[in-house]
Chains A and B, each alone.
Chain A
């Protein structure tokens, strides 16, 4: 393992630790029984099979959105459209799950494909605008989020709403469309396997194929990639297609795995979480699984503290900020990195490693 890699791991670990410490401070300031609350936050998630199951089921959508962002970040694209994709893919996939009639195995598969297809279409708007005309993908993707939300709400209100229920939810999904639970006594559904499969596929794509190399080359230096004969426009569009498909899958998996109806009445927030998870994972698709699990653990902990003591779950967003800021801070812990490298030079271990 080279120094650069182990330094990245150290920085990630410090950021995670800092986030947990900040959580302590917040709990101490707010809670009436700080010690007990901290113990709940740290240990309760591991205390029973049900809570462990909660961690896994919380991690599923986070893995999808983290993967989607990791691919975009590898290309240096700051597209935050995951939010809109999740919502829209959930809506369109739900329409399929409510009104189609298919046998048990094919039905959810088709719903997933519908969700992924929707995701691709939504992502292609900022993708094409960026690739062909270099329009700022961040602004256009955020506008798409609001548009998806408005259109989705319109469809939900006027076509899918179940009048028999007082809250704003759709009709029930057909039971053949829903994703089965795979661990008894929890709500962990087959989505976790799909998520892991996606992570492996994205990993293979990025690290074992020619296109993956082009993606990374474009991300590192688009001009260089262009001059060495790569079709940058095509690469950017391809990346958006993949990111859209993965996020779309995530949206419909979440709906069919955890709910019996379409229940979102606001944007679910997974798009932005994806950015943080991708960073925690250093944009590595397999690392995304671990990063998502860690964030899911924090969430379940915060949720439990919220139930037992009066600390709002939104504490999480403060922790997320700390993680993003510390991980992206290049000069953070820089001194130690420098020292390590100097030490290596003295010993004579460093031969051709560049000092970044």
Chain B
């Protein structure tokens, strides 16, 4: 137990929080943008999984991490586009469309993994590339702080930028106003000349971009390979974070931090030899309890009013 506590207060532990938070931040920002636009994208999990596969495969084919990242983004945006097409043009229920995409991602990636790597579990036999870690000059040399803040994967820094981008986008750009207006009241937005379909399509594509980054991080940063269902519900945890963050960029990022800590604790506890089957459930349990407490509080508040 003492070893465990020491571990939690170590520099490595705090460093690892940033690492496990990266995909959550990306996905939850995707959730915020799409949900505010009134088209809740629940395919985050699937989009990230497809992006993770594309990043691994194309960085292996071209031996270039940059191409891998680009293809990861492209695939995630394409399938976000498919979702947008079906929901906005064919009027598919977006939740069902999301379920369909998640199922496609889960099976489809294994399908292609088998074709390219002759393996239905992982891609370790393919020598794919990873994105570089960045050492920030000056900060790097500060004791403790340098060890925590510097030396992360480039996408970890991008994920922080993604939060700032989302905040700024929704708060002070025309597109952000349109997104909010369309999500709030479609008809009112239409009446002042905002195209609902165009705005919602853009919001879904933006959530696709976020998923592209998140997925690329998983197979080209978090680890250096692809394995089946490697997102292990991070896309869903992001949705819970978005609900608890009340659809604001900053609040959602804060909620993601909570789940990042839970994830890091579970990793640390597993390393300490606690029963790994049980320890692995910590982030999900934290999400469930967090969401429950949050919902009860909202419920009580509404009752008082």
A143 touches B103 (CB 8 A): no
Taking each of A145, A315, A329, which has the highest tally of chain B beta carbons within 10 Å of its own beta carbon?
A329
Contacts A135-B295, A314-B114, A330-B91 known; A146 to B281 CB distance under 8 Å?
yes
CB distance from B80 to the nearest CB of A (A): 14
A276 touches B103 (CB 8 A): yes
Contacts A129-B295, A143-B288 known; A325 to B108 CB distance under 8 Å?
no
B281 touches A158 (CB 8 A): no
Contacts A316-B107, A317-B111, A325-B100 known; A151 to B278 CB distance under 8 Å?
yes
A320 interface contact, C-beta 8 A: yes
Taking each of A144, A158, A317, which has the highest tally of chain B beta carbons within 10 Å of its own beta carbon?
A317
A78 touches B115 (CB 8 A): no
A143 touches B240 (CB 8 A): yes
B277 touches A157 (CB 8 A): yes
> How many angstroms from the CA of A312 to the CA of B101 in the assembled complex?
19
A312-334 Cβ-contact flags toward B at 8 Å (1 or 0) = 10111110110011001111100
| Chain B residues near A154 (CB-CB < 8 A) | 275, 277-278
> How many angstroms from the CA of A214 to the CA of B127 in the assembled complex?
57
A132 interface contact, C-beta 8 A: yes
A280 interface contact, C-beta 8 A: no
B contact residues, range: 35 or more
B111 touches A321 (CB 8 A): no
CB distance from A76 to the nearest CB of B (A): 10
Q: Is the interface of B mostly helix, strand, loop or mixed?
A: helix
B233 interface contact, C-beta 8 A: yes
B296 touches A317 (CB 8 A): no
B81-102 Cβ-contact flags toward A at 8 Å (1 or 0) = 0000010011111011101111
Contacts A312-B115, A321-B104 known; A138 to B95 CB distance under 8 Å?
yes
Looking across the interface, which residue of chain B has its beta carbon closest to that of A275?
B99
Q: Name A residues whose Cβ lies closer than 8 Å to a Cβ of B.
A: 30, 78, 80, 125, 129, 132-136, 138-140, 142-147, 149-151, 153-154, 157-158, 272, 275-276, 279, 312, 314-318, 320-321, 324-325, 328-332
Closest 7 A/B residue pairs (Cβ) = A317-B107, A150-B281, A135-B295, A329-B90, A324-B100, A314-B111, A321-B104
Q: Name B residues whose Cβ lies closer than 8 Å to a Cβ of A.
A: 42, 86, 89-93, 95-97, 99-104, 106-108, 110-111, 114-115, 120, 232-233, 236-237, 239-240, 243, 275, 277-278, 280-281, 284-285, 287-288, 291-292, 294-296, 298-299
